[in-house]
Structure 1
């Protein structure tokens, strides 16, 4: 093999090539972006349509249904759902994984454009947003005064300071996508209309809104040329002072005036009007005010404003964090002494900590592997050769990661850490082969020994590596988020294994040239501890197989039984030393009541010794459409508690808090605990582990069945944090417009609805500009004219025919209870019941399924499906089983090609169930669950466990050719003992290489995979050395008997 001669004949060139690889790897390492999890194009698109004043039913009927039907025909779409609530429709399109989301978004926009003309008048143009739950805020800052006194106007100044001096500056930093401001107070110009004066002057709310909009305007008029100059002409009518708003002259709507000219009734009534000029100040009070608060933000029991920094996709969060901290340092001169700006959450800290742990695990794994090699080879120089191959292979893998666009994250770096022991296996085999050849042929020259020994190892090295690489091929077919995540890990391990082949076949022979072969010719490399193996193997092979194989059968049977008792979940639980508590009170709850309860919870949390700080967000005060979609209501609070690094587990603290909240017995309070932030929490589409979708078209029946299921869950001790969406019904006053009666007075539904919206909630007519700031000018009735529900029918609307019409004359007023929102999934109205489970997720799901079946019968017009983590677990398990089966087939095909036999691969493949069951034992006795991560470990085991079998069977096959007349049993024992050392070396380096990762349970996402690999390799090592020789003898003896016949 000519390429084996290259490092021997051109040693300097070979060294230079590998130095270049190392340099390229170091450069790639410094330039690779660092993030917590891989960047994924999450296959979901949201369509947001705002429809001011519309209730949930109107939004559903007029917008959601239309858009659902339209986008449901998009390519690769998997599911369409919608949420219709007050003033907004949200349609969610879920696509199949692997869909190009840029083309999908374009497809959805085209379909929306086709029907947007059919949307109701008054609805804003739909906005199409790509959604990514993994794109969390990277940094959260709390800005507050350093005193406790609350002054709303001071909060206005603080929010303006944050916007001008922090938000705008931070958004200019490279890598920052946007900065969201939450909390604080906002200023507006309030125009409060006196209803009596409005009606006395025969004006409508719409007249005032239209007049304000048309008065406060600057409009270009073109250009005028004069001699050498050209002048721009524009009309300037914008308000300069707040008093200018009150000086506006009021006129009637053009449509009303037109109807007045053609109506005899209007001509008679108009004669009653006075001829005086009417200013806005005559019928309204115009003043600077503070917007009605819709949200609050608190940090450590003090009113604050929070700034959330969101990164651009693919940006280096560690670098971005450094730039933000440097910018804050520069801005210190602008920050008043009474203001505190504190970074309360920085994702880069967790990234650096996680990556540091993985670096440490990988380094420690490498050291342990080096010690094993040193023990077996008994020579420091030879062990150093193997050690050198490790960083070279890792740096080469980093180079390939750079060109493949893979970032440094917990999954890719975890792959490198897991591969530490595997990477040195090939170098072990080659170097051990060189020493073994040296012992047999001591008279040959150094170059001849290295060339011939390495040439003999090319096929087994490449074959064993291909079997390991081949098992990652099924990862392409693993569906869902788990498959997308583990693809990066699979690619990273593949890169390192490919690099390890080059290091083993090129670098190791080159470095072996520097060894003192004369010393190795006389060196005794035997180990007394291994001398006990030959007698044990001889005794085992001499025993009747019916008796000796009983142990294997028992081992496999017990393992399969234990598999059924191991808890199952989608993803492993990581203790991130933080948790989120979402509190939901009845929908009509005021902001003050929610705030008071949040303060009480804050006080309790600060009595917990492990709590470091507490962040509270109540309601919403975001300004962009994205924050509106994810906004909280005034009855909702999100409380984030960060814990100290040392102390009780997060789950235990959460359980105590949950029990405490139950003891408070707050009426109709729903709580939801989230201990799994970030990737594993968001990847499920909901923060709760268990979600039940109750579907039907009758809302009354849906509400009844959902309540029954919720009551069943509440009786289960291991189910907590139960939450229903939508929550309980909201009392509302419903006005059914009598269209015929309204038309008699020249009124239509649109004008009536717009007038009511302006009268009660208020309507932003235009903006008031003050220097660089803009404030809403809001028009509405005085509080005393709009606050009494019992007199709502007395609200009057000015008719174009010159009459004041009461609402009761043209509508029917009803006090009803309605849903705060209506959810639809795949065309059916849906209630969601979400809950958290304790340990034993799969057992809890079984009880929940039984409870659901008891509530809903096949005859009901309602269906229920358990989704959330259960759906993800089911999909993951199905994909994993498919991937396992496919991996086995691929391994068999590779082995059959290598051995040119259909029977010999079966001997090697008996190690597969040995290894997988060994992984099951490890998970059971380490109290771990079977999840997506541990299942990937089982898939990896298929490629790992066959390596020892390949080494043995390949040696048996060669020995039979070299010594055809030798006794078969004697030959098998001799070959097994000969290959014992390399088998032990490769297996132990793999086991010890993943040991540090396996011990990092609760802080490393790949720990269950490492535990599975350790268990599988440990049990397989012992079993392979006895049962593979026995199986080989069984098959070869059968062949021989058949030949004799």
Structure 2
């Protein structure tokens, strides 16, 4: 072959090529970012609109629905949905993969701008932004103090810590949960306001007017100029009380006449606390988000360094505690995969030495591993990949695969050396003889990973880096096998190989002098050779009983298709770890203090568990956080004995015994699952009241399914509210309208930001006009509220003040806590987990049947989303990739053998691997998931390698004049050693992964287990089924040729005879 010939003639050139590959890889590795998973751009755009004080009904009707209808015409939309909460509307657009997110965001911005005038005038302008699920917090930091009030801690968090953290490169933002920010509250007196005929808007205008600093220009004199400014900023909060609002009867009416200025705190809507032992400490939580594409580990390290600096600069009583750090999990996971790579490499090298029994052959063969792995970092840098779980998993799984080509080439070179050839001739001829087969096996593997890399959907994005990394590494290993291996074999003489074939005295002397390791290798090779000597007779029996062999093969295939469905399907395997969270909801309308009390109760219970290290309680945080929603993050002690699954199973029943909560236990968030429950059913329909009934029936049906955990509904029930129903006729007679009533109520109950005040430390605080807390507790206070009329009171010339009860009825009512819509229909979301021991696919199927059995009304339907939808989509993508891989393999094999039929003989090994996959998962109590499916695709390329080696050599022997049967027996005996060597090397290379040792290994192990099981059965069956199938197809080809050609066709030898066997390789 050209490459091997050049390398043998120019060894320095070949060496420099290897050095160049290693240098490129090392330099590239230093520039690669580190992350847990590949960075994926999700085509999701959200439009978030704020309308303070508006109910979910109003938000849905006046904001969410109009925006949905306007955006539904945007090109490339896959799904549109919305959530309407109190004062907030979130419209979410998911686009088809491949859509330019930046262009889509501009289209959404333009559509929303066109309808802005039709939306309520008091809303804040909608914020259009790209939403990335990867933008979840990577760290959580808690600020606590045993000496300071929470208000002062909040000021430090807002003004100092948040600002400093957001200045770190790679940090995308910092969310604050908990705390109680300082606020100057102008609390109006309704009676005084009525007496002076004032409205809240007038107080707001006065505060804005009197608390400002205005530049007036400049003056020039001589050689200098001076700026002129009007300084009117309030220095002391008490001075706000002296601001004049208006003049009545020649006397100024000041703020203090109609309101009380209180240096207080904002209304709390969130809370955070840390629990250690039995102690609870109020905290201000800062959640750090990273910019998409930035290095998580580097960002986390920079944040921790900044925390160290801030602890020195902040008051001594302030403590900053890192509650959660995703970089720790990433480091542990990547370190585990790296250890698996090293262990796999060591085991593979040991297997090579065991078979070859020569340290020179082991070194020559083993050099392929570091060169291939290190050079793979170069292609990762070229494609802008990161060092992540998927790319390292690719290299870990490929350990045994990367050395296969070198094993086959070296073994064949050794066989030629044992024939008495010179080192140059043996290297050249041995590589040339096996070259086409080795090239075909490598191309078959690459052909398998190309469909994996280009699968559709999110799963394709996740495995793109996996597929490209393996494919490149395999191509490099092929290149090394054709250059470095023959060059070293030709230049680095191995005396033991030269004496192996004919010098029995030398070998006997070597056995006597051998160290314990070599003695093991000698003993192993002796036993292997004795076993291998029986193989031709076994194969001869198989060739004589072809129907029996094929029937047995067919039986294994049928058996595999019986076992695999019974294993069950799931999206991703559960991962054991040392942290989880307990989400909980209290009844709708619950106050923050009540939810915090329940959260403390949950935390106190969790702290009693022997495995719990500490808990971290948050209430009301996040996009959709409300005062009745909380979360308890649980950190387990290092080295806890019980598995995470056992702990969670034990807690599920006990947490439900706490009254007033609905708990949900969630595991760690990953790229495959964002910590949400796997089964999500969206019940959709046109009418809200009937939809609630349908959703309730659906929830009952879900609860009846075995294996379902913690089923719950997004329909919590209605929240209590006060409905102010304006009598338009009475309001018109009083000089009022609905708008004037609303504009009076909204600032008093929601609070209207009038201006800001800067304290001596330079911290800025809002100045808000609001009702006193004592008057915001009953409907009677609302009814007596005065509203300024457009009419003038004839007695004093002031605006007429009308009691609200005169123009409106205030009564207690209820309303939804949130309203969800999907594809322009209202929906209620039913969510559920899956109990340990059940497969998600089986449970989802049972849930679907249960829903179908209740019969939803016409116009109402249920749609599965979440992990169930991901699983169904993935099945389709994997099946397409599998079929495409089979087609590519056939094209390569047909090109290699120059036959349309012979590739089929090798491809019979593909389904023979299924029984191994099924048995491996059955023994390890696994199931079919994303990882095992990718493993099966990977097997399609691996299992063809053995058949290619056998059939290619049989064809060479037949071309040299041997009969068909003799050629098969000779090829089988001679190629048995490299076939077994490569298979065992691949198995042991993947063994560390299959053992699931280390952090997050449970997610990676199923792929290795599936591949190992498939390799074992396909290799054992291939040794007999492929030769039998080869003879059948050869007979078929002869029969077809006899029918197509008129001239008599001389058939070749039958499968029952064979010529004397060539002397097989005995090892080094």
TM-score by length of 1: 0.93
Contact 1:35 1:317 in 2 (8 A): yes
Instruction: Select 1:279's aligned residue among 240, 245, 254.
Output: 254
For 1:700, the equivalent position in structure 2 comes to 689
Deviations 1:240-260 (A, max 9, x none): 2112211111139xxxxxxxx
Deviations 1:745-776 (A, max 9, x none): 34333332121012223211111122421111
Contact 1:143 1:342 in 2 (8 A): yes
For 2:672, the equivalent position in structure 1 comes to 680
Contact 2:453 2:466 in 1 (8 A): no
2:998 is the counterpart of 1:997: no
For 2:153, the equivalent position in structure 1 comes to 158
Contact 1:410 1:1005 in 2 (8 A): no
For 2:843, the equivalent position in structure 1 comes to 844
2:755 is the counterpart of 1:778: no
Q: Name which of structure 1's ranges 130-139 and 201-210 shifts more when overlaid on structure 2.
A: 130-139
Q: 1:994 to 1:939 in 2, by over 3 A?
A: same
Q: Name which of structure 1's ranges 113-122 and 825-834 shifts more when overlaid on structure 2.
A: 113-122
The DSSP-based 3-state class of the residue aligned with 1:297 is strand
Deviation, 1:893, is 1.4
Q: Distance in 1 between matches of 2:686 and 2:586?
A: 26
2:962 is the counterpart of 1:969: no
The DSSP-based 3-state class of the residue aligned with 2:844 is helix
Q: How does 1:238-257 map to 2 (within 5 A)?
A: 238-251=233-246
Instruction: Select 2:226's aligned residue among 220, 228, 231.
Output: 231
Q: Distance in 2 between matches of 1:601 and 1:744?
A: 55
Deviations 1:49-92 (A, max 9, x none): 11122211221122112211222222221011001121111100
Contact 1:997 1:1004 in 2 (8 A): no
Instruction: Select 1:297's aligned residue among 249, 255, 272.
Output: 272
The DSSP-based 3-state class of the residue aligned with 1:455 is helix
Q: Distance in 1 between matches of 2:885 and 2:455?
A: 12
Deviation, 1:537, is 2.5
For 1:258, the equivalent position in structure 2 comes to none
Contact 1:195 1:785 in 2 (8 A): no
Contact 2:549 2:1028 in 1 (8 A): no
Contact 1:207 1:250 in 2 (8 A): yes
Deviations 1:425-464 (A, max 9, x none): 1111211121222234x24x43233223223333222211
Deviation, 1:172, is 2.6
Q: How does 1:255-270 map to 2 (within 5 A)?
A: none
Deviation, 1:545, is 2.3
Give structure 1 stretches of 5+ with no counterpart: 253-272, 621-626
The DSSP-based 3-state class of the residue aligned with 1:73 is coil
Q: Distance in 1 between matches of 2:899 and 2:536?
A: 31
For 1:835, the equivalent position in structure 2 comes to 832
For 1:916, the equivalent position in structure 2 comes to 914
Q: Name which of structure 1's ranges 480-489 and 216-225 shifts more when overlaid on structure 2.
A: 216-225
Q: Name which of structure 1's ranges 224-233 and 915-924 shifts more when overlaid on structure 2.
A: 224-233
Q: Distance in 2 between matches of 1:976 and 1:466?
A: 23
For 1:756, the equivalent position in structure 2 comes to 745
Instruction: Select 2:974's aligned residue among 975, 978, 982.
Output: 978
The DSSP-based 3-state class of the residue aligned with 1:589 is coil
Give the CA RMSD over aligned residues.
Answer: 2.1
2:491 is the counterpart of 1:501: no
Contact 1:733 1:814 in 2 (8 A): yes
Instruction: Select 1:671's aligned residue among 657, 663, 667.
Output: 663
2:938 is the counterpart of 1:940: yes
2:637 is the counterpart of 1:640: no
Give structure 2 stretches of 5+ with no counterpart: 502-524, 792-798, 1043-1048, 1052-1068
The DSSP-based 3-state class of the residue aligned with 1:250 is strand
Q: Name which of structure 1's ranges 912-921 and 402-411 shifts more when overlaid on structure 2.
A: 912-921
Q: Name which of structure 1's ranges 456-465 and 371-380 shifts more when overlaid on structure 2.
A: 456-465
Deviation, 1:812, is 3.8
Q: Name which of structure 1's ranges 446-455 and 365-374 shifts more when overlaid on structure 2.
A: 446-455
Deviations 1:916-951 (A, max 9, x none): 332122112211111111101111111111111111
Q: Distance in 1 between matches of 2:159 and 2:193?
A: 39
For 1:711, the equivalent position in structure 2 comes to 700
Q: Name which of structure 1's ranges 920-929 and 168-177 shifts more when overlaid on structure 2.
A: 168-177
Instruction: Select 1:1009's aligned residue among 989, 995, 1007.
Output: 1007
Q: How does 1:1025-1036 map to 2 (within 5 A)?
A: 1025-1036=1023-1034
Q: 1:521 to 1:783 in 2, by over 3 A?
A: closer
The count of corresponding residues between Structure 1 and Structure 2 is 1002
Q: Distance in 1 between matches of 2:392 and 2:712?
A: 37
For 2:325, the equivalent position in structure 1 comes to 346
Contact 1:730 1:817 in 2 (8 A): yes
For 2:31, the equivalent position in structure 1 comes to 31
Q: 1:352 to 1:942 in 2, by over 3 A?
A: same
Contact 2:673 2:867 in 1 (8 A): no
Q: How does 1:925-936 map to 2 (within 5 A)?
A: 925-936=923-934
Q: Distance in 2 between matches of 1:242 and 1:164?
A: 19
Contact 2:34 2:296 in 1 (8 A): yes
Q: 1:676 to 1:543 in 2, by over 3 A?
A: farther
Deviations 1:679-727 (A, max 9, x none): 2222xxx701111101012111111111122223334452222221131
Q: 1:953 to 1:176 in 2, by over 3 A?
A: same
Deviation, 1:344, is 2.3
Q: Name which of structure 1's ranges 378-387 and 758-767 shifts more when overlaid on structure 2.
A: 758-767
Q: Distance in 1 between matches of 2:537 and 2:600?
A: 70
Q: Distance in 2 between matches of 1:83 and 1:762?
A: 24
Contact 1:221 1:235 in 2 (8 A): yes
Q: Distance in 2 between matches of 1:477 and 1:514?
A: 42
Deviation, 1:650, is 1.3
Deviations 1:195-251 (A, max 9, x none): 101000011111111221222222333444444334333333222211221111113
Deviations 1:844-870 (A, max 9, x none): 22221122113334x433211222221
For 2:357, the equivalent position in structure 1 comes to 378
For 2:608, the equivalent position in structure 1 comes to 607
Q: Distance in 2 between matches of 1:529 and 1:797?
A: 104
For 2:794, the equivalent position in structure 1 comes to none
Deviation, 1:518, is 5.1
Deviation, 1:539, is 4.6
2:564 is the counterpart of 1:563: yes
Q: Distance in 1 between matches of 2:70 and 2:220?
A: 52
Q: Distance in 2 between matches of 1:309 and 1:783?
A: 33
Deviations 1:551-610 (A, max 9, x none): 212211111111111121111211122111110111211112111111111111111111
Q: Distance in 1 between matches of 2:532 and 2:85?
A: 77
Q: Distance in 1 between matches of 2:990 and 2:77?
A: 40
Deviations 1:337-372 (A, max 9, x none): 323222222222111111111111111111111111
For 2:787, the equivalent position in structure 1 comes to 797
For 1:260, the equivalent position in structure 2 comes to none
For 2:756, the equivalent position in structure 1 comes to 767
Q: Distance in 2 between matches of 1:63 and 1:239?
A: 38
Q: How does 1:559-638 map to 2 (within 5 A)?
A: 559-620=560-621, 627=622, 630-638=623-631
The DSSP-based 3-state class of the residue aligned with 2:412 is helix
Q: Name which of structure 1's ranges 1003-1012 and 311-320 shifts more when overlaid on structure 2.
A: 311-320
Deviation, 1:784, is 4.1
Deviation, 1:640, is 0.8
The DSSP-based 3-state class of the residue aligned with 1:798 is strand
Contact 1:421 1:994 in 2 (8 A): yes
Q: Name which of structure 1's ranges 550-559 and 539-548 shifts more when overlaid on structure 2.
A: 539-548
Q: Distance in 2 between matches of 1:459 and 1:739?
A: 90
Q: Distance in 2 between matches of 1:219 and 1:1007?
A: 68
Deviation, 1:973, is 0.8
Q: Distance in 1 between matches of 2:892 and 2:728?
A: 77
For 1:257, the equivalent position in structure 2 comes to none
Q: Distance in 1 between matches of 2:805 and 2:500?
A: 107
Q: Distance in 2 between matches of 1:416 and 1:497?
A: 10
Q: Distance in 2 between matches of 1:717 and 1:854?
A: 16
Contact 1:194 1:785 in 2 (8 A): no
Q: 1:302 to 1:356 in 2, by over 3 A?
A: same
Q: How does 1:4-19 map to 2 (within 5 A)?
A: 4-19=4-19
